Structure formats: C-alpha cells, structure tokens
Amino acid sequence: MKVSISTDAPTKVRADLLVLGVRTGQLGKDKLTKQLDKAVHGALTDAAKLEDFSGKSGESLRVTVRGIEAGVVLLVGLGDAALKESDFRLLAVKSAQAGMKYASIALVLPEGFEDRARAARLATEGLLGGNYKYTQYLTGDRLPKRRTEVAHLVVTKDDGDLRRAVRDGGAVGESVNFARDLVNAPPNDLTPSALAEAARSEGEARGLSVKVWDKKALEKLGMNLFLAVARGSSEEPRMVHMTWKPKKVKAGTKKIAFVGKGLTFDSGGLCIKPPKSMIDMKCDMAGAAATVGIMLACARLELPIEVHGFIGATENMTGASAYRPGDVFTSHEGKTVEIINTDAEGRLVLADVLSYVAKEVAPDYLIDHATLTGACMVALGPWTAGLFANDDELAAGYARAAGAEGESFWRMPLDEDLRDALKSDIADMKHVGDSHGGSITAALFLKEFVGKSKWMHLDIAGPAFLDRPHHQFPKGGTGFGIATAVRFLESLVG
Ligand code: BES
Ligand code: MN
Ligand code: ZN
C-alpha cells in the first residue's frame, strides 16, 4: 500500500472509503463535517442520530453516501480531550483496517494538533500498520479479493514537511510490517539460515552491509553457549551482523548496537515444553525480527548515526546431540556455565552474542530485544515489555521514546541480591536461578556478559506476539519495539 498526500477537498478526493475523525458533539457543526454532511444530503447527521453516534472516543459509524466521490464514509469518534499522538496513530490504524477490502481509502488528517508533520508521520505509520495482514500461506477463497493500494492522507495545506513526514512514516511502517512477516512465518520455512538470508537480502537492498557467520565460523569464535543450544537441531545456526554507517555521521553522536534473540523455534529442548506452551514458539525470534526492523528503518530514514544490529539465530530442539541439564560449556567470554534447564536457551545465545558485540563493536549503548521469559509476562501482563538497564540515562531516554510511540515498557530491577541464585558448585555459574524473579535472574545472567557496556535488556516475551489485537498491534507478530527504538535513535541525533 502506498500513502500519498492529497489536498483535495474531502468531497472531491477519489477514494472508495473516506474516514473522518469527529470530536464529541461536533458532527454537522464544525466547518468540515457541516460541508460534507450537506454534500451527502444530511446522510451523516441522519445516520448519527439513528445510531446514537456522538463522536465519543471508541465510537465509529459507517455510512453509505451519495453526492461525493467516496461511496462510503467512516466516522470515528475522537472524544473531546486535546488530541494526542496516539489519537492519530489509532485513527489511522482503524481507517486502514476498516478499509482493508477497498482498493483506495482516504483519511482526513484532523486539525488542531500543533506538530502537523508528526501527526502526518504517525498517521502514515498507522495506515501501513493497520493494513497489515499475513497472507503468505493462504490459497483460493482464503486470499483477499482486493487489498488497499492507495491511502490518501487528506490535508488542507501541503508543504515539504508533510511530504517528508509521510516518507518517514512509511519507512517505519514498512519496517514494522517486515518484522511482523518474519515473526508470523512458520518455523519449517523460517529456519535459522532462512532468517539470516532474509536479513541479508532485505538489508542489502536497503543499503546496509550484512555479514553472516555459519556454524563453522561460530565454532572458530568459541561461541559454545550459542552452539550448545543449536546442537539438538538439524538446522545450522547463524549469527548476523547488519551495519548502518551513514555517509555523514553527525559529529558527537553515539554508536549504538542492537542484539536480538533469534530462536526460530523453541521446543524447550530436552526439558521439553508442553504442547500448549510450544504452539506459539515460532515467535521466539521476535527479538531478531525487531532488530532487523530497526536496522531497515535506520537505512530507510538515513539516520545520521552509526547503528549495528546482531542476531543469534538457531532452533532449540531435542535431536540426539541435544545439550543436557548438567552439561558445562565455556562461553565466548570465558566463563564456564552449568546448564540447568534446556528451555532457558535464549540467555545462552544472547550471552555469547552480547560478549562478542561488547568486545568487537564496543558500542556506547548495547541494547537487546528478546522473548526471554514467561516470568516477565507473569509480572507485567501480555502488553508490557520488561526494561532492565545498568544505566539510568539510557533507561529514561528509552522510556520517553516508548511513551511517545505508544509502546509499553516497565523498568525492572537488576536486583544484585538475586545474583546468588546463579552460583554453581562445579562451574563459574549456573544459567537459571530459582523460580521466583525469573525475568530478573535471566537479566542478571546476561549482565555477566556485557563487560562495562552501558546496556539495556528488553524482555518482549509478552508484546511481541499477541493472541488478540491490542491498540495499534495486530494479533500474531506485532513488530513491537521498532517504533520506540527509532524514536530513541532520532532523539540522540536531535
Ligand atoms: N522463549 C521462552 C520464553 C517465552 C515464553 C516467550 C512465552 C514467549 C512466550 C524462553 O526460552 C523460555 O522457555 N523461558 C523459560 C525459562 C525457564 C526454563 C527458566 C520460561 O520462561 O519458562
Ligand atoms: Mn525456552
Ligand atoms: Zn525461548
């Protein structure tokens, strides 16, 4: 779907569906809705009366009309509070969802928000996100007959700022949708090598440089924790490094590295998961997908800051060579680790990748995304990610970006008193603590491998993959984390 700016009057814009936000009690009263209602012979106010639509937030009303170019008008209640960024995002998501089966839709950008460019950018992001549907494996009648090809963003005045905003919103929206596709892809097709190839081909197409390590190369690096997880699978593991180095790096900016957990399937290994917990485990590469999405967005936006993205991709399976509870492996960083539960595989993969990146890239900020623990969902529910950081400025900056992007993160403590739970009798450490505070001990384990880096760990086990739509996020893969990361990176370059 392409989003374009239109300065046509709402009555004249050529689209199958016209979407209009309405403030409480304003339908037929403000200039815009008055004109439009008149052009459709009062159909909007008539329908609103019949259906008790008053423009409260959460209300919407679809009306078939004559007299204007569009055949259908969708009224969406905006409430009467001052418009917020999230109103634009959600209005756009709803518009695209409602217009899914129309070839063209038009969204009238509500006025009354100071930063028009921001509003246009969010609306574009929302239009693309709302239009998302995973159709790769549908056939015949299950395939949608039509998909929306164009979405017009209807504005009163066009200027360079808005054009740029629509381009930027498109850059983020497309990257989020790409990540969603990766997460939704079935694990028999999206193997570790397929994930690496997807990152390579899409990355290179957008101007990133991409390097991929195969199993042999990982052995050379001594990534024995990562390789331990991969042992039970007949699929080879991969590590991927995507680099965004802009032509002009803004002077004085930081170097950032992202790391993503890329378990293309997590059966639990020998400590096998029960079927109910295993069914969604294709989503266990959502951290990697977010990392790829962030890197793609950096390139598309041509951010003037150096950014690195690493993913550790493997399966966790039960093959004859599978790693066992009781095994001891020497990490890339040098510490020996006693395996306790083979289902706690993510921290092993991340530990080796994090220590590699901390040493080889030495970023100013090191940030990982991972669907790491069920415990984090127990603590925070399905929609909020856990944020663990050893640097307050980084955590605060990230929280600000997240708030603006409508993604929910909650800071969790790196409680050093829990570190004792990782003591082993026979090795430098165990990789799993007691049952309580499971997301914290997982984070404390990772912390052992980041050296002196300013580091943040984002446990996205809940919001990365949903069993029902929530706010701007669809069911299934959500692309959670990308919008916040981009906003944070932009805040660093001012
Ligand atoms: N991938 C899972 C965590 C997860 C659970 C992600 C639910 C998304 C939804 C992770 O590898 C895992 O299995 N963690 C274990 C750790 C435990 C064995 C210490 C868990 O959370 O139960
Ligand atoms: Mn697991
Ligand atoms: Zn896992």
Cβ 315 under 6 angstroms from ligand 1: no
Of 135, 154, 157, the C-alpha closest to 146 is: 135
pLDDT one-digit tens code per residue, 398-412: 999 999 999 999 999
Work out the average pLDDT over 40-49.
98
Cα–Cα dist 262/250, whole Å: 31
Give the model's confidence band at 49: pLDDT under 50 very low, under 70 low, under 90 confident, else very high: very high
Q: Which residues contact 11 (CB under 8 A, 6 or more apart)?
A: 35, 36, 39, 67, 68, 69
Q: Which residues are catalytic?
A: 273, 347
- Domain locations in the chain as residue ranges: 2-156, 171-493
Give the model's confidence band at 366: pLDDT under 50 very low, under 70 low, under 90 confident, else very high: very high
Query: Which 8-state DSSP code applies to residue 250?
Result: P
Checking if the pLDDT of 450 tops 90, the result is yes
Q: Which residues contact 15 (CB under 8 A, 6 or more apart)?
A: 69, 70, 102, 104, 105, 106, 150, 152
Give the model's confidence band at 116: pLDDT under 50 very low, under 70 low, under 90 confident, else very high: very high
Cβ 333 under 6 angstroms from ligand 1: no
Q: Which amino acid is at 81?
A: A
| Selected residue with higher pLDDT from 337 and 494 | 337
Give the model's confidence band at 457: pLDDT under 50 very low, under 70 low, under 90 confident, else very high: very high
Cβ 461 under 6 angstroms from ligand 1: yes
Give, using CA atoms, the residue closest to atom 14 of ligand 1. 373
Please count the residues of the chain. Answer: 494
Cα–Cα dist 278/263, whole Å: 13
pLDDT of 494: 83
Percent of the chain beyond pLDDT 70?
100
Q: What CATH homologous superfamily does 171-493 map to?
A: Zn peptidases (3.40.630.10)
pLDDT one-digit tens code per residue, 246-282: 998 888 889 999 999 999 999 999 999 999 999 999 9
Cβ 459 under 6 angstroms from ligand 1: no
Checking if the pLDDT of 160 tops 90, the result is no
Checking if the pLDDT of 159 tops 90, the result is no
Ligand 1 pocket: which of 226, 315, 372 to mutate (most atoms <8 Å of CB)? 372
Cα–Cα dist 229/243, whole Å: 26
Strand partners, 261: 312
Indicate the range of 178-187, 250-259, 297-306 predicted with least confidence. 250-259
Checking if the pLDDT of 158 tops 90, the result is no
Ligand nearest to the CA of 267: 2
Cα–Cα dist 107/87, whole Å: 13
Q: What CATH homologous superfamily does 2-156 map to?
A: Leucine Aminopeptidase, subunit E, domain 1 (3.40.220.10)
| Ligand 1: nearest atom to the Cα of 435 | 19
pLDDT of 220: 98
pLDDT one-digit tens code per residue, 279-293: 999 999 999 999 999
Cα–Cα dist 393/460, whole Å: 21
Work out the average pLDDT over 222-230.
99
Contact 283, 464 (CB under 8 A): yes
Give the SS3 label for residue 25: coil
Ligand 1 pocket: which of 281, 343, 466 to mutate (most atoms <8 Å of CB)? 343
The whole model's pTM is what? 0.98
Helices and strands in the chain, H and E counts: 15, 19
Q: Which amino acid is at 310?
A: F
Ligand nearest to the CA of 314: 3
Average pLDDT, the chain: 97
CA of 434 to the centre of ligand 3 (A): 18
Work out the average pLDDT over 33-46.
98
Work out the average pLDDT over 6-21.
97
Give, using CA atoms, the residue closest to atom 5 of ligand 1. 374
